[in-house]
Amino acid sequence: MVALRTFSVALVGNPNTGKTTLFNALAGMNQRVGNYPGVTVETKRGKCRSGDVTFDVIDLPGTYSLAPRSPDEMVAVEVILGQKAEEPRPDAVVAIVDASNLDRNLYLVTQVMEVGLPVIVALNMADVAEAQGIRIDIPQLSRRLGLPVIPIQANKSKGLEELKRAMAAAMEMTPPTHGPHFPEAFDREAETLRDRLSGNAPIFLARRLLLDVGGQMEISAAALHGDAIVEEVRAARQRLSQAGCPIPAIEARTRYAWIRQATAPCIQRPKQRAITFTDQLDKALTHRFLGTFIFLAIMFLVFQAIYAWAEPFKDRIVAGQKWIGELVQSNMEPGPLRSLLSQGVVEGVGSVVVFLPQILLLFAVIAFLEDCGYMARAAFLMDRLMSRAGLNGKSFIPLLSSMACAVPGIMAARVIENRRDRFATIMVAPLMSCSARLPVYILLAGAFLGGYGSWAPALAIFLMYCLGLVVAPLMALLLKRTLLRGETPAFVMEMPLYKLPSIRAIAWRSFEAGWMFVRRAGTIILATMILIWAMLYFPTIGSDGTDYAKETAALEAQLKEPRDEIEKTQEKIERGQMENADVTALEGLLEERKKAIEPDEAKLNHLLQEWKGNSILGRMGRAIEPAVRPLGWDWRIAMSALASFPAREVMVGTLGIVFDQGEGDAGSDDYQRSLGDALREATWPNEPERKLFTIPTALSIMVFFALCCQCVSTLAVIRRETASWTWPAFTFAYMTVLAYVGALATYQIGRLFL
Amino acid sequence: MRLSLTLRWANAVHDEEMVPLEFLRRGEWAEVAEVCGEPCWVGRMAELGVSTGRRLRVLQPGSPCMLEVGESRLTIRGDGAMQIFVRPLATAFAT
């Protein structure tokens, strides 16, 4: 029997070097994503085998250096140094480098050489380098660096066996002993500092503490040893500067000098750089006008993908959900369990799954744009505009996507490296008017402004969209000046070369995003949906002793047959119309049948209305009525708004129950029209003369919906992306306050004019 | 204000023929003389290959501008480009 050995390897490299591609090629489907508390970056782990050795591969976030400036960047350093309590230190490091940009990539490698682990260099994209006329003498490079250098082509899975063999051989290797030499004075100061930290602290950390002015090491050292240590570090830097060793310039100087000297004899570059495909493409794609035009066209496509292409899939999911709900309804005894399953669980699961088409499509598009290199160009074009709101060019796509749905939009914010910019983008993304707000806008604008001509509702809806577009940048600016204030390092971004992305990688990214959403956000969404169901269901017995659950169930059972008949007749009429047959008789029959069940339908509705009004949520609506009076709302509107906090699309259905129209098919035009009529006729509970809905009230509800975060899925995703409950709580609080103030102002000002 | 600041800098460094990166036109080559500003910014630029002695070329001027540094292309905003001082070079070099 062969003894199996497990060997743990960390993967590091610059962004855009094909690190993730290499990881996927090594680990395949056999991988999982891990999060550390308090940080928002992810590390992936996977397993692969070579002979009798099993490798545990850790994919660390892409970075240009091991100089941590934030807790997120600290993760890679801590994993490599084995300072994460819950896991052992890796046995070796594989540094992936881009052969077409060797000098810059080796900067990180020289830092990795100092952590005290065996290092293997995986030389990627040799084909690209060759196409540019760059020739690398690999054996010589390996000798001069003192490290094994393995040429690979990650996107074609070439060289992986050799790499794995080198990884296995690294078990017998010792950590590299040579590399860039810092001045002796520097090494002495680092030693002193290490002893000051504690005798067994890695020398690597002491050097980082000395080199990274204002870096993460300073912050954690100050937290551990008090502010005195920072003063000592400052004094040490002062001494070094006077000794001709300026900090931090010395690091770049020392490392690049060594890299130059090591690589010069083994790299041949063309005398005159050839004009590449990337140069040609960039001329058009980053052109101020032509490039912007192309960008807008691509953005239209992105928007189309999430808005329109996802729609048929969404419809199918909704239909499936309805079908399962009905299956439960007809196969179970009436009672709380049936209601829980059909309305709580099925709808809850449905409201998770319904986001999947959008997430999968958006992430496929984003993965394509990123992998082919276009994303950085788009950010370049949009940066001028976004920087006015204190954001950067990369915030554009998340915000635009949020106009279809904030959930994929917020997930798309992962492409923003800077933490503050990313958080500001996430916080304001839900302000963009998403597609779920549209039914509410259409209902209210149609019912109350339709009388002025078709332009009035259109204008109102347009203004609601503008509201988000205006408030979001203002809010971002405010956040960047207050909560997310701090020295944002000046904006710099690398433009990768254009290349053809692999379909497999795109499919994988899209699947990964979808799965993550279902697993991490899905549970929270489901739980909240069940909670709201319970708050609308209980208590089932009214103050006069009526058992609502029992009576509505009985009525519904009684109505089932005539309702089915009506549906069948309707289908017959539709089929007849399609075949141009005479359907007058059938239409008469339909009317008759509808009339026959009208009293029962009215009774059912009345019961439902009483039940919901009597429910916990209904009582809450009554309790908060004094607070919403200044918005022009009564308790019924308040209750509908409360019920739509987990998902705003519930609003239309709840209004339907409360204002006597039954739940109906909230999407159909007929239903919207009849509900609109019902709303127009509704009066205040105690003043039958006074109309409840006036134009200011309708507008105030619309503004409330435009600004409020009534979407538990959004909050669950924010929680996932920020790795804390504070940020979703803050988003919810600020948006609710904003919505209340906005609705209040709309109603009070509107009342003066209308 | 930004203009006057730039002029002041331009005057101050006139002797060494150093100009802020912002002053370069499309297609011009230059050698980095000094990267000023926050240590964190200086460090980041060094990692990306922008440090004293390195050659770069302006692909697109303005803010943000696009540079070619070694084998890579970078985008930097105006505030960052103001902190990078360069000596313009007459001819094109292959780095």
The listed range with the strongest mean pLDDT (A285-294, A663-672, B37-46) is A285-294
CB contact under 8 A, A101 and B70: yes
Report the amino acid identity of residue A697: T
CB contact under 8 A, B44 and A252: no
**CA gap A81, A77 in Å, rounded:** 6
Residue B77 pLDDT exceeds 70:
yes
pLDDT of residue A488: 64
In angstroms, the separation between the Cα of residue B70 and the nearest Cα of chain A is 7
Q: Strand, helix or coil at A341?
A: helix
- Write down the residue that tokens 């934030």 correspond to: A70
Q: Strand, helix or coil at A91?
A: coil
The listed range with the strongest mean pLDDT (A346-355, A688-697, B53-62) is B53-62
Where residue A668 falls among pLDDT bands split at 50, 70, 90?
low
Where residue A146 falls among pLDDT bands split at 50, 70, 90?
very high
Residues in chain B within 8 Å Cβ distance of A212: 39-40, 43
Over residues A461-466, the mean pLDDT reads 87
Q: Token pair of A327, please?
A: 């299956």
Residue of A nearest to B77 (CA): A491
Residues in chain A within 8 Å Cβ distance of B59: 282, 286
How would you class B80 by CB atoms within 10 Å of its CB: exposed for 0-12, middle for 13-18, buried for 19 or more? Answer: buried
CB contact under 8 A, B77 and A383: yes
pLDDT of residue A662: 55
pLDDT tens figures, A21-67: 899 899 887 787 776 666 667 788 899 988 888 999 999 988 888 98
Residue A200 pLDDT exceeds 70:
yes
Q: Token pair of A38, please?
A: 């308090």
CB contact under 8 A, B40 and A492: no
CB contact under 8 A, A251 and B48: no
In a domain, B52, yes or no: yes
Q: Strand, helix or coil at B86?
A: strand
The enclosing domain of B68 has a CATH number of 2.30.30.90
Q: Which residues pair with B35 in a beta bridge?
A: B84
Where residue A332 falls among pLDDT bands split at 50, 70, 90?
confident
Residue A246 pLDDT exceeds 60:
yes
pLDDT of residue A92: 94
**CA gap A260, A270 in Å, rounded:** 17
CA atoms within 13 A on the CB side of A196: 23
Q: Strand, helix or coil at B30?
A: strand
Residue of B nearest to A373 (CA): B73
In angstroms, the separation between the Cα of residue A491 and the nearest Cα of chain B is 6
CB contact under 8 A, B47 and A65: yes
B45 and A CB contact within 8 Å: yes
Sign of the four-CA dihedral A154, A158, A161, A166: negative
Which residue in A492, A493, A497, A499 has the most chain B C-beta atoms within 10 A of its own C-beta, making it the best mutation to test that interface? A492
Sign of the four-CA dihedral A138, A141, A147, A152: negative
**CA gap A247, B43 in Å, rounded:** 10
CB contact under 8 A, B41 and A100: no
CB contact under 8 A, A249 and B49: no
In a domain, B94, yes or no: no
Domain extent for B16? 2-89
Q: Token pair of A617, please?
A: 């949520």
CB contact under 8 A, B74 and A273: no
Over residues A297-310, the mean pLDDT reads 80
**CA gap A559, A554 in Å, rounded:** 9
* Secondary structure (DSSP) of A40-81: --EEEEEEEEETTEEEEEEEPPP-S-S---SHHHHHHHHHHH
Over residues A192-220, the mean pLDDT reads 87
Where residue B13 falls among pLDDT bands split at 50, 70, 90?
very low
In angstroms, the separation between the Cα of residue B92 and the nearest Cα of chain A is 9
Among B41, B48, B73, the residue with its CB nearest the CB of A64 is: B48
Over residues A241-255, the mean pLDDT reads 88
Q: Considering chain A, what percentage of its residues have pLDDT values greater than 90?
A: 27
Report chain B's mean pLDDT, rounded to a whole number: 79
Among B37, B39, B73, the residue with its CB nearest the CB of A494 is: B73
In a domain, B95, yes or no: no
pLDDT of residue B31: 93
Residue of B nearest to A246 (CA): B39
pLDDT of residue B85: 93
Residues in chain B within 8 Å Cβ distance of A384: 63-64
Kindly report each contact of residues A243-248 with a partner whose C-beta sits within 8 Å and lies 24 or more positions away, as own/partner: A243/A183, A243/A185, A244/A183, A245/A182, A245/A183, A245/A185, A245/A186, A247/A210, A247/A211, A247/A213, A247/B39, A248/A211, A248/A212, A248/A213, A248/B39, A248/B42, A248/B43, A248/B46
Residue A745 pLDDT exceeds 90:
yes
Among A107, A384, A490, the residue with its CB nearest the CB of B80 is: A490
Residue A684 pLDDT exceeds 60:
yes
In angstroms, the separation between the Cα of residue A266 and the nearest Cα of chain B is 15
B44 and A CB contact within 8 Å: yes
Task: Look up residue A159 and give its DSSP letter.
Answer: S
CB contact under 8 A, B48 and A103: no
Where residue A87 falls among pLDDT bands split at 50, 70, 90?
confident
pLDDT of residue B95: 41
* Secondary structure (DSSP) of A528-584: HHHHHHHHHH---B-TT--BHHHHHHHHHHHHHHHHHHHHHHHHHHHHHHHTT---H
How would you class A304 by CB atoms within 10 Å of its CB: exposed for 0-12, middle for 13-18, buried for 19 or more? Answer: middle
CB contact under 8 A, B38 and A101: no
pLDDT of residue B79: 86
Residue A486 pLDDT exceeds 50:
yes
How would you class A616 by CB atoms within 10 Å of its CB: exposed for 0-12, middle for 13-18, buried for 19 or more? Answer: middle
CB contact under 8 A, B41 and A490: yes
Report the amino acid identity of residue B66: M
Over residues A298-303, the mean pLDDT reads 82
Residue of A nearest to B41 (CA): A489
Q: String of b and e for A220-234 (b: at least 16 CB within 10 Å)?
A: bbeeeeeeebbebbe
Residue A528 pLDDT exceeds 80:
no
CA neighbor of A66 nearest in space, from A77, A82, A58, A81: A77
What is the domain count for chain B?
A: 1
Residues in chain B within 8 Å Cβ distance of A64: 44, 47-48
Where residue B30 falls among pLDDT bands split at 50, 70, 90?
very high
The listed range with the strongest mean pLDDT (A304-318, A344-358, A594-608, B56-70) is B56-70
pLDDT of residue A669: 66
Residue of B nearest to A393 (CA): B64
pLDDT tens figures, A610-657: 887 788 888 888 898 899 999 999 888 888 888 888 878 777 777 776
Among B52, B70, B77, the residue with its CB nearest the CB of A104 is: B70
pLDDT of residue A429: 95
CA neighbor of A528 nearest in space, from A619, A442, A643: A643
Residue of A nearest to B53 (CA): A253
Residue B12 pLDDT exceeds 60:
no
pLDDT of residue A665: 57
Residue A2 pLDDT exceeds 70:
no
State the helix-helix crossing angle for A650-658 and A669-681, rounded to 10 degrees. Answer: 50
Cβ contacts from A onto B, under 8 A: 124
Over A451-499, what HEC string results?
Answer: HHCCHHHHHHHHHHHHHHHHHHHHHHHHHHHCCCCCCCCCCEEEECCCC
Residue A12 pLDDT exceeds 90:
yes
Residue B10 pLDDT exceeds 70:
no
**CA gap A307, A435 in Å, rounded:** 8
CB contact under 8 A, A490 and B37: yes
pLDDT tens figures, A377-410: 988 998 888 888 888 888 888 888 888 788 888 9
CA neighbor of A339 nearest in space, from A329, A353, A330: A329
CB contact under 8 A, B39 and A65: no
CB contact under 8 A, B51 and A104: no
Q: Are A754 and A696 in contact (CB under 8 A)?
A: yes
Where residue B1 falls among pLDDT bands split at 50, 70, 90?
very low
Q: Are A21 and A115 in contact (CB under 8 A)?
A: no
Where residue A147 falls among pLDDT bands split at 50, 70, 90?
very high
Residue of A nearest to B47 (CA): A64
- Write down the residue that tokens 């130059």 correspond to: A260
pLDDT tens figures, A552-581: 888 888 888 888 888 888 888 888 888 887
CB contact under 8 A, B44 and A282: no
CB contact under 8 A, A490 and B66: no
B61 and A CB contact within 8 Å: no
**CA gap B28, A554 in Å, rounded:** 83
Among A213, A269, A491, the residue with its CB nearest the CB of B40 is: A213
In angstroms, the separation between the Cα of residue A101 and the nearest Cα of chain B is 5
CB contact under 8 A, A67 and B64: no
Residues in chain A within 8 Å Cβ distance of B70: 101, 103-104
